[in-house]
Amino acid sequence: MTKKKNSYGFATRAIHSGAAPEPITGARNTPIFQTTSYVFKNTEHAERLFKLEDFGFIYSRLTNPTVSVLEERLANLENSRAAVACSSGHASQQLAFTSLLGNNDHFIASNKLYGGSINQFNKTFRNFGWECSFVDPDNVKNFENEIKDNTKLIFIETLSNPDGSIVDIEAVAKIAKKYHIPLVVDNTLATPFLHNPANWGANIITHSLTKFICGNGTSMGGIVIDCGNFNFLKDNKYPGLSQPDQSYNNIRFSETFGDFGFAMKVKADTLRDLGCTLSPQNAFYILNGIETLNLRMKKHSDNALIVAKYLQNHSKVSSVSYAGLKNNKYYNLGKKYFPYGVGSIFTIKLKNGYNACVSMVEKANLLSHVANVGDTRSLIIHPASTTHSQLSDDEKIKAGAGPDVIRLSIGLEDVEDIILDIDNSIN
C-alpha cells in the first residue's frame, strides 16, 4: 500500500503550511498567542512535557503556538524536517553553532559573508573557544584543505552579501559529506523561493527572517532549520546529539527524535539556555510576510536585473557585481542554483572611489540609507564605512566591500523610479 504523495506548490505552502483554523474559535488567520505560559492539564501532563515525552507548550522561551506555525512553515518551504525560530539571524547562528561545537572545536567558513557574521565568528565565537578558518569559496578545494580532526561544521552563504556572489553548494556539500561534517548554510539573501539548500546537500539552514522573509522591514527574527539528513549517531563527534542529556532523563536527542533530533536539541537545550526567543508578535508579522514571498522575490529579482543592466552601461560606474548579468563570473552558478532569479542585492563600483560613494548615498532621495537589506523599499549603503567598517582593509576587499563599493538592495517600487533616483544621486 505504497502510494505517491501529492505535494502542494510553493505559493500554496507559503500561505498554508503549519497553519490551520484555530480549533476552539475557528479563527482562520494564525492568532497571536501573546502569553508567556500555558496551563497544564494535571501534574502528570506537566511531567510528560518536561521530560519531552509529549508535545505541548510549557513556557514561551521554548515554544509558543504562533512561533510554531512560523517554524513549521519555513521547515516546509525549505524541504526540511523541522525548525527553531529565534530573535534574529545572528541568534540563529549562535544557536546552531552552540548545538554543534564544544570548547576547542574548529569550523570553516566562506570569507564571503555578511560583515556581521565575520565579526561574530572572528571575535565572539573565538571567546567561546571556537576557532574559525575563513576560506575563499570560489575554489571549493579550499574547504577541504582546512579540514582538521576537530572541524565540526562548514558554513557558507548561498548567495552572499554584499556582492551577490554564489557558492557552488553542491560541490561543498560533497566535501562536507565525505568528512561527515554538517554543512550549515545561511540562505537569507536567497530565501527558500529562489533556492533550497537542502536539495543540494545542506544539512542545516539558518536565516535572518529580518530581511526578505518578513519583507516589510518591521521585525527582527531568525531561524535554524534541521534538514533531517545528517546522521549524528554515526560517531561521537557531536556528543550533544549522540550522548545522554542529563537535563532530560538521559535521552539522546538524535536517537529519541530521529530526523528532527537536531531541531529538538536546539530548542530544548540551546534555546532554553541561551534565551534568544522570537516574540509571538514578530512571528505574526513574519508569517504575514511569507504569504507573498514568491511574488515578492520574483519581482525583487526582476527589478534588480533591470537596474543592474542599466548600471552596467553607466558612465560613472566601473563595474556591477550581479550574478544575473551574463558577464558575471557567477552567472552559470546562478543559472544552475537560482532558476527564478538571483535576488536583489548587489554591488557597484564607482569610478571616482570613496568620495563618490559617500556623495551618492547622501544625494539619494528615494533609496533609503539603512543598514539593512531585503526590504520592500530600495536601500543603499556604503559598506566600507558602515556594515563592514570593523573589518581590516584587506578583509573588506576580500568580502567585496572595498572603498569604491556601493551596495544596493533593490525593492518593489516602480523600477523607472528606482533608476531615476540612482541616476540623480550618482551624478
Partner 1 sequence: MSLKDNIYYADDYIKEILFTTKSIAIVGLSDKENRPSSFAAKYLKNRGYKIIPVNPVTDKKTILGEKVYKSISELEFIPDMVDLFVKKEKILSFVKEAIKIKTKTIWLQLGLIDKESEKIANSANINFIMNRCPKIEYAKFSGELGWAGVNSNVISNKRKLLKND
Ligand X SMILES: Cc1ncc(COP(=O)(O)O)c(C=O)c1O
Residues lying near partner 1 in the complex (CB under 8 A) are found at 1-5, 7-8, 12-13, 16-18, 20-23, 26, 48, 52-57, 63, 65, 68-69, 71-72, 75-76, 80-85, 228-229, 231, 244, 248-251, 255-256, 258-260, 263-264, 267
Residue 405 near ligand X by CB under 6 A: no
Q: Select the binding partner of residue 267 from partner 1, ligand X, none (C-beta < 5 to 8 A, by kind).
A: partner 1
Q: Cell 524541504 maps to which residue? A: 79
Residue 202 near ligand X by CB under 6 A: no
Q: Select the binding partner of residue 333 from ligand X, partner 1, none (C-beta < 5 to 8 A, by kind).
A: none
Q: Select the binding partner of residue 83 from ligand X, partner 1, none (C-beta < 5 to 8 A, by kind).
A: partner 1
In the complex with partner 1, which residue's Cβ is closer, 244 or 275?
Answer: 244
According to CB under 6 A, which one of 83, 320, 373, 422 is a site residue for ligand X? Answer: 373
Residue 347 near ligand X by CB under 6 A: no
The rounded distance, in Å, linking the Cα atoms of 83 and 267 is: 9
Q: How far is CA 424 from the centre of its chain?
A: 33
> Applying CB under 6 A, what is the total number of residues that bind ligand X?
16
Q: Select the binding partner of residue 75 from ligand X, partner 1, none (C-beta < 5 to 8 A, by kind).
A: partner 1
Helix axes 415-426, 293-312, angle to 10 degrees: 40
Cβ–Cβ under 8 Å, residues 353 and 82? no
Q: Which stretch binds ligand X (CB under 6 A): 185-193, 238-246, 266-274, 292-300?
A: 185-193
Least distance (Å) between residue 153 CB and ligand X? 16
- Region of residue 228 (phi > 0: left; psi between -120 and 50: alpha; otherwise: beta): left
- Binding-residue pattern over the window 222 to 241 for ligand X, x denoting contact by CB under 6 A: x-------------------
Task: Copy the grid coordinates of residue 53.
Answer: 515525552
Cβ–Cβ under 8 Å, residues 83 and 107? no
Least distance (Å) between residue 390 CB and ligand X? 14
Report the 3 state secondary structure along 316-328.
CEEEEECCCCCCC
Q: For residue 424, what are the CA distances in angstroms to 9, 197, 349?
A: 41, 39, 16
Least distance (Å) between residue 187 CB and partner 1? 16
* Contact set for ligand X, span 95-134 (CB under 6 A): 114, 116-117
According to CB under 6 A, which one of 30, 64, 88, 142 is a site residue for ligand X? Answer: 88
In the complex with ligand X, which residue's Cβ is closer, 186 or 269?
Answer: 186
Least distance (Å) between residue 184 CB and ligand X? 12
Cβ–Cβ under 8 Å, residues 180 and 167? no
Least distance (Å) between residue 424 CB and ligand X? 27
Task: Copy the grid coordinates of residue 374.
Answer: 531585503
Q: Select the binding partner of residue 90 from ligand X, partner 1, none (C-beta < 5 to 8 A, by kind).
A: ligand X
The rounded distance, in Å, linking the Cα atoms of 191 and 196 is: 8
Report DSSP letters for 120-154, one per residue. Answer: IIIIIHHHTTEEEEEE-TTSTHHHHHT--TTEEEE
In the complex with ligand X, which residue's Cβ is closer, 13 or 211?
Answer: 211
Strands 151-157 and 368-369 turn out to be: unpaired
According to CB under 6 A, which one of 82, 83, 108, 189 is a site residue for ligand X? Answer: 189
The rounded distance, in Å, linking the Cα atoms of 298 and 70 is: 22
According to CB under 6 A, which one of 71, 105, 144, 186 is a site residue for ligand X? Answer: 186
Residues 6+ apart with CB under 8 A from 240: 99, 100, 102, 253, 265, 269
Strands 368-369 and 345-350 turn out to be: unpaired
Q: Select the binding partner of residue 22 from partner 1, ligand X, none (C-beta < 5 to 8 A, by kind).
A: partner 1
Least distance (Å) between residue 113 CB and ligand X? 7
The CB density around residue 417, as the number of other CB atoms within 10 Å, is 13
In the complex with ligand X, which residue's Cβ is closer, 78 or 157?
Answer: 157
In the complex with ligand X, which residue's Cβ is closer, 119 or 312?
Answer: 119
The shares of helix, strand and coil residues in the chain, as percent rounded to the nearest 5, are: 40, 15, 45
- Residues at the site binding ligand X, with contacts judged by CB under 6 A: 88-90, 114, 116-117, 157, 161, 186, 188-189, 208, 210, 220, 222, 373
